[in-house]
Chain A
Amino acid sequence: MSKYSFPVIVALVLGVVAYFLNWELLLSLDFSVVWEYRVVLLKGLMVTLALTACAAVAGLVCGTMLAIASQTNFAPLRWLVIAFVEIWRNTPLLVQLIWIHFALPLVTGINTTALESGVIGITLQAAAYFTEIVRAGIESVPKGQWEAAYSLALPARIRWTRVILPPAIRTMIPPLVNLTISFFKGTAILSILHVSELMTVTNRISNVTFKPVELFSAIALIYFVVGIVMSKATLRLEYVLQNRER
């Protein structure tokens, strides 16, 4: 009996949903609007991917510098890095974006465009998250490696680039890729500033065509497909990395 109870529950739920659905609307759905605006949507997706890449690259560069800075013995610098990381990790990206876009110009007197604000916001957020990962990666390098580098009197630059960073980077790769995927999702938040990425573009098309169901369902699917491809590729990468170590 218990073997069949689950399909029965599923069928019941589907039945209830089917009863409440607006079939008239459902049958009149016209997905040709998605095809009609394919060029615009594709451009939006390109902007989304470009913003993701920007967050990943700029974030990684800033994050690595901050992580190295956080290893210094100079306490005020260390505290500054920690404060930056904690503030940006513990407030919502949306609030950071509107703060940069609307509040910051009042202080600096420099007006930023939506795209500029968006790029600044997501880069800084990425930097904060990447700092944590890079720091964890650096701290995962055994102490003996540091001591060996010190005892060989290697210059700081060589110590970092040849001894500490190579093994650290290997442990960092999976979380870094995962983070990049979450910034792919995060770029949709930039639509609050009307940066012309996929979400903004869709909103605009929806406002002129009055076909929200078709459009939002379609881009949900686009985001899903791109995201799932990236995360399955990450799993594969993790698997390859793990097997290579053995």
Chain B
Amino acid sequence: MRFDWDQLIRYSPDLLQAFGVTILISALSLLIGIVIGMFACLGKLQQRGLAFRLANGFIDFFRTIPEVVLIFWVYSCLPLLLSVRISSEACGVIALSLFSAAYLAEIFRAGILAVPKGQVDAAKALAIPRYHIWKRIIIPPAIRRMMPAFINFLTELLKATSLLSAIAVGEMAYTASILGAQTLSYFEFLSAIAVLYFVLIFPFSLMARRAERKLLKKTGH
């Protein structure tokens, strides 16, 4: 067989648009996930009580069920339960936001718990108010410590967007399957998006590894 570049070039605008959809959905889910994830993280840091149990249950549930099941549940059950129409794109964003929130909550928590206890002790001993302890003593080092895991999660999120093709969201994997079926040039289109995904995801993997090495050097372990 020969590689049919013409087909690829002819449909490149569609692929490009799909690339945009992938990025847009990832970005939206990430933003919403960060907000919900922060609340879940705060809840879990309580260690006991109602807030803790709610946050813990939320995190456990959405980390444990497969992303595909979550996506299908949101797509086929949520509109029925709320008796509203929800577009498949919105369903995708809702599902991936919940998925992100659960993972990010654990990543945030690990970062915060990695801040040495002595730093907080010293701040308390200086009578620094709680707000300033969080803002200046806990959060800056916590962000540095959570960076590798956070970037790594970005790669997972980008990969997870491909699952939205199951509910006909026009992102890369879906577009390529449709184009492949229409033109019977599966090999060209599927290879093309495989390369696109790799080009999109690999730099983040490298960044995560670099951040990790830098952190190891800095904290000296």
Contacts and interface: CB of A to CB of B under 8 A. Distances in A.
B77 A90 contact: no
Contacts of B69: 188, 199, 216, 219-220, 223
Contacts of A20: 82, 84
Nearest to A21: B81
Interface in B179-204: 180, 186-187, 190-191, 193-194, 197-198, 201-202
Interface string A193-234: 000000100010010000011001101100110011001000
B11 interface: no
A106 interface: yes
Contact of B162 (A21, A95, A188, A212): A95
A86 interface: yes
A197 B202 CA distance: 30
Contact of B51 (A6, A213, A223): A6
Contact of B187 (A106, A186, A220): A106
Contacts of A87: 198
Interface residues of A, number: 45
A12 interface: no
A103 B179 CA distance: 13
Contacts of A223: 64-66, 69
Contact of A95 (B51, B77, B193): B193
Contacts of B68: 188-189, 191-192, 199
A83 B1 CA distance: 24
Contacts of A102: 177, 180, 186-187, 190
A98 B197 CA distance: 14
B50 A6 contact: yes
A246 B65 CA distance: 35
Contacts of B166: 191-192
A178 to B, nearest CB: 11
A218 to B, nearest CB: 10
Contact size class for B? 35 or more
B82 A22 contact: yes
B64 A212 contact: no
B40 interface: no
Interface of A: 6-7, 10, 20-22, 25-26, 86-87, 89-96, 98-99, 102-103, 106-107, 185-189, 191-192, 199, 203, 206, 212-213, 216-217, 219-220, 223-224, 227-228, 231
Given A95-B197, A103-B187, A199-B68, 15 more contacts: A6-B50, A22-B82, A87-B198, A94-B165, A95-B193, A99-B191, A185-B64, A188-B67, A189-B163, A206-B76, A220-B65, A220-B70, A220-B73, A223-B65, A223-B69
28 contacts: A20-B84, A22-B82, A25-B83, A86-B202, A86-B205, A87-B198, A90-B155, A90-B198, A92-B158, A93-B159, A94-B162, A95-B172, A95-B194, A96-B194, A106-B1, A185-B66, A187-B66, A188-B68, A191-B166, A199-B72, A203-B72, A213-B77, A213-B81, A216-B73, A223-B66, A224-B60, A227-B64, A231-B64
Interface of B: 1, 50-51, 54, 60-61, 64-70, 72-73, 76-77, 80-84, 155, 158-163, 165-166, 172-173, 176-177, 180, 186-187, 190-191, 193-194, 197-198, 201-202, 205
